[in-house]
Amino acid sequence: MRPYRRLLAGGLACVVISGALGSINPMLLRRGIDSMQPGGSVSTAWRVAAMMLGVSLAGGVFRFGMRQLLNALSRRVEYDLRNDLLQHLLTLDAAYFGRTRTGELMARLTNDLSAVRMAAGPAIMYLVNTTVGGLFALGFMLAIEPRLTALALLPMLPLPWVMIRLGRQIHERFEEVQEHFGAMTTRVQENLAGTRIVRAYRQEAAEERRWRALSEDYLERNLRLARLQALMNPTFALLGGAGTVIVLGAGGALVMRGTITVGDFVAFGMYLTMLVWPLIALGWVTNLFQRASASMERLEQVLDSMPQVTSPPEPRALPATTGGRTLEFRDVGFAYPTPPPLVPTTSEAISATMSRSTEPRVVLDVAHSKTIGTSGAATLEPRWVFRHVSFTVPAGATLGIVGATGSGKSALIDLITRTWDPTEGEILLDGVPIRTLSLDTLRRELGVVPQESVLFSDTIRSNLTYGTSDDAAVDWAADVAQLTETIRDFPGGFETILGERGINLSGGQKQRAALARALARRPSIVLLDDALSAVDTHTEAAILHGLREVLAGRTAIIASHRVTAIRDADQIIVLDGGRVVESGTHTTLLARRGRYWTLLARQQLEDEVEDGAPEADTPAVSG
């Protein structure tokens, strides 16, 4: 709380002063009532009334300050915590996002943050306010009549036990509610992102049933929590009300005996009310703190997650250059990191509940295979994506990587960007192991076009200038990617606002936009991961022709399942079964009539079928 000390100190000072002022009025009223005797002075009553008015006005000013300062404190805590969460999320690697659902994170960034904010402001304000007010009230009650005070407090003895028991249950049930809210957010996010698939497969009714089941479960969990919360405040009020009944009987007897005056009795009753109200508010405050505690635990799970891929403490520097860089793989092998124990997530548990099935659910792990050891225990062994991959791409050269779907082309590109780190072996850039470079230094050298083109809901120009501010470079890159004419057809041109994830662009247009964005940075190394798979063959040929000039002097790696995309590369490697089975130029690989030749023959046959060519003998594969 160090950054908020001034706000907290000012707010708490206002709380104490307003509490002190609020406790003065009952004593003034006591004096006014006791002065109303036959033959008493009217001016005394007016004087007391004026003093009460002044105290009330002053108390109102400090109550305003209390709310202003402590609510500002809570908003600043929420603001800083939200920024810290997003900043930390941006440092986490692919392993974290591979096991954490987007909807779960969205729930923590919204609902959980709101619960923490309520504890950081309103809950603190009411807790301190009611505590200070209650202490002042208790002090004045003891000053008026200690024995009556003891009787009034007697029904409140079970209060600590009630608070602890109900508070623990509220904490547990609120955790369940928040986790289920995360599951609902995930379902909404998936349905909205996949709305085309839902409609295409006519699954609207099925998705509606799943959503209804989720909503009913969420409603039931909230009702369970609400029943507990509804029990808390009346319980506290009952305990306080029992004290009021005792005061009415015992206090009335003391007045009739002359032990205390009528003014004493009225003031005592007011102080008791001031003491009972904190008890009622304490139930609400306890609820807020328990909610915040459960939510803060969920937020800390995010903040405590540490990335596996990090910059070294003392990073090395790359030698200066104006062109491409030499890239080398030395006996590199890769298997996806071993996941944590496979326990069902909240969403999976809910899905199991919705299915109403008693059969066990099987969770498949595509990155690992399960084997039974000699002791009979199940162990996870890594399923290698590839092993013993070695090659060198000289500065300014182009490497083509070809292979069937699932052969490891994308994983190899991910290792260069350090989305993942190799399981064995090392990767070097100009002779420097990339693990010894800071992530910022490494990625500044790279222009990456991933297999799935991700665009943001912003203007086309903002998407293309992502990572650069050079508008001239953007216009040049758009020409290379054969995107300029397409953009001109849009009503707003480069200022056209794209939908979420670029939904108003075709697959090929998104790929060309992603290519232009990568080229606009003028990187030393260009990485294309099946970047033209959604582009027609004629546009692909035009783009590749433009790339030959653009990539001159730059190092490039082009991964594709289409041989036509990499045939002009200086060197080609063929991935199959997790290993490099062939390497060489397009001409030499064709001459060997091996795996590369087979891939090209198959693709030529598929192209002829797609083009509607008449049936004929399959032509021989040519260079």
Q: What is the pLDDT of residues 51-65, one digit of tens each?
A: 989 988 998 899 898
Instruction: Annotate 42-103 with DSSP letters as a single string.
Output: HHHHHHHHHHHHHHHHHHHHHHHHHHHHHHHHHHHHHHHHHHHHHHHHTT--HHHHHHS-HH
Q: Is 50 exceeded by the pLDDT of residue 105?
A: yes
Structure confidence at residue 401 (pLDDT): 93
- Mean pLDDT score across all residues of the chain: 80
| pLDDT of 359 | 37
- β-pairing, 571-576 vs 555-560, is unpaired
Residue 291, φ and ψ in degrees, nearest 5: -60, -45
pLDDT at 521: 84
Share of the chain above pLDDT 90, in %: 15
**What number is the average pLDDT over the span 19-41?**
79
Given a cut of 50, whether residue 462 has pLDDT beyond it is: yes
The per-residue b/e assignment along 442-478, b for 16 or more CB within 10 angstroms, e otherwise, is bbebbbbbbbebebeeebbbbbbbbeeeeeebbbbbb
Three state DSSP letters for 198-219: HHHCCCHHHHHHHHHHHHHHHH
Statement: residue 271 has pLDDT above 90: no
The pLDDT score that the predictor gives to residue 188 is 79
**What's the pLDDT score for residue 375?**
44
Please give the residue that has the higher pLDDT: either 600 or 161: 600
Q: Tell me the average pLDDT across 7-12.
A: 87
- Greater model confidence, 400 or 289: 400
CA pair distance 269, 502, nearest whole angstrom: 67
Residue type, 66: M
Q: Which CATH superfamily is domain 324-333+386-445+526-613 in?
A: P-loop containing nucleotide triphosphate hydrolases (3.40.50.300)
Helices (H), 455-594: 460-464, 471-480, 484-488, 507-520, 537-550, 586-592
β partners of residue 579: 576
Domain ranges of the chain: 2-35+48-303, 324-333+386-445+526-613, 449-522
| Helix, strand, or coil (residue 572) | strand
> Taking residues 62-76, what's their average pLDDT?
88
Residue 164: what pLDDT?
72
Count the Cβ atoms, other than its own, within 10 Å of residue 26.
Answer: 25
Lowest mean pLDDT among 12-16, 210-214, 275-279, 313-317: 275-279
| Residues linked to residue 329 through DSSP beta bridges, in sequence order | 391, 427
Q: 133, 126, 149: which is closest to 23 by C-alpha?
A: 133
449-522 architecture in CATH?
3-Layer(aba) Sandwich (3.40)
pLDDT of residue 370: 45
Look at 32-46, 67-81, 501-515 and tell me which has the smallest mean pLDDT: 32-46
Non-local CB neighbours of 166 within 8 Å, separated by 6+ positions: 228, 231, 232, 235, 283, 286
Q: Lowest mean pLDDT: which of 269-273, 280-284, 393-397?
A: 280-284
Indicate if 449-522 has the same CATH topology as 324-333+386-445+526-613: yes
Question: Taking Cα atoms as reference points, which of 329, 413, 401, 328 lies closest to residue 573?
Answer: 401
Q: What gap in Å lies between CA 488 and CA 498, rounded to an integer?
A: 14
pLDDT digits (tens, 9 = 90+) for 142-200: 888 888 888 888 877 777 777 777 777 777 787 788 777 777 877 877 777 677 777 77
pLDDT recorded at residue 294: 83
Residues 248 and 524: their CA atoms lie apart, in Å, by 86
Judged against a pLDDT cut of 80, whether residue 493 lies above it is answered with yes
Residue ranges with strand state E in 337-405: 368-372, 378-382, 386-393, 398-403
Q: Which fold has domain 2-35+48-303?
A: ABC transporter transmembrane region fold (1.20.1560)
- For the cut 50, the answer to whether the pLDDT of residue 610 exceeds it is yes
pLDDT at 275 exceeding the cut of 80: no
